[in-house]
Amino acid sequence: MMKSDLTIDTLQREAKTFADLESHHEEPSLYGITDGKAVGTYLELKFKAYLKALYNYEMGNVALGIDFPSLEVDMKVTSVRQPQSSSPFRSARQKIFGLGYNLLIFVYEKIDFYSTQSSQLNIVHTIFVQKEKTADYQMTRGILGILSNNGNRDDLIAFMLERNLPVDDIEVERIADEILVKPPTQGYLTISNALQWRLQYSRVIQEAGQINGIFKIR
């Protein structure tokens, strides 16, 4: 039987099915594990293997930077206790104009069972965020507020510098000029500056299914 190509629609559908199955699965190898990265790696590899058995798709790698490059989707796995993860820093512009790719987010609650020496990952949220919504919430909210109040180039530059956007003087001027021509879309992530971006997902969890472009899959 020939496998069909993976699409955004089938990815979302299979993410729901996988989350349903995984939420009822007990896994001995995760018992007692508190390292969120180890749990995330387990779930990512398992989901990719699940998809690979059903579909053709381009595998992501470190060089490409995201899990499903042909679909422009990166997969994130995070605990419900602190829903956040890291993401490669490409440009300070990502905080304003978005990451440049979609996000598929699995938010889990880990339960250990002493009686069976196994763990269960209850997938409490499965969310798909379109790339247009992946900018920083406060940064885009502030910029759009400045524009709505007839703000100019100097206002935008001052705001971005006050928010510690990691750019030099030349780049911040270029970004301000671009904003005046093409204002950003309101983002819904919280993005913290670091060697890698720190993405926080509390707002997208809250807004999933209520904001166009943020889909509550499960």
* Residues 50-71: tens digit of each pLDDT: 999 999 998 876 656 799 999 9
Pick from 27, 21, 20: nearest CA to 41: 27
Domains of the chain and any CATH numbers: 4-83+101-133+194-216 (3.40.210.20), 137-181 (no CATH)
**Over residues 147-176, mean pLDDT:** 95
218 pLDDT more than 80: yes
**Over residues 1-7, mean pLDDT:** 88
**Over residues 122-142, mean pLDDT:** 98
Cα 22 → chain centroid: 20
- Is the CB of residue 170 less than 8 Å from the CB of residue 179? no
91-101 tens-digit pLDDT: 999 999 999 99
**Over residues 71-86, mean pLDDT:** 95
pTM for this structure? Answer: 0.94
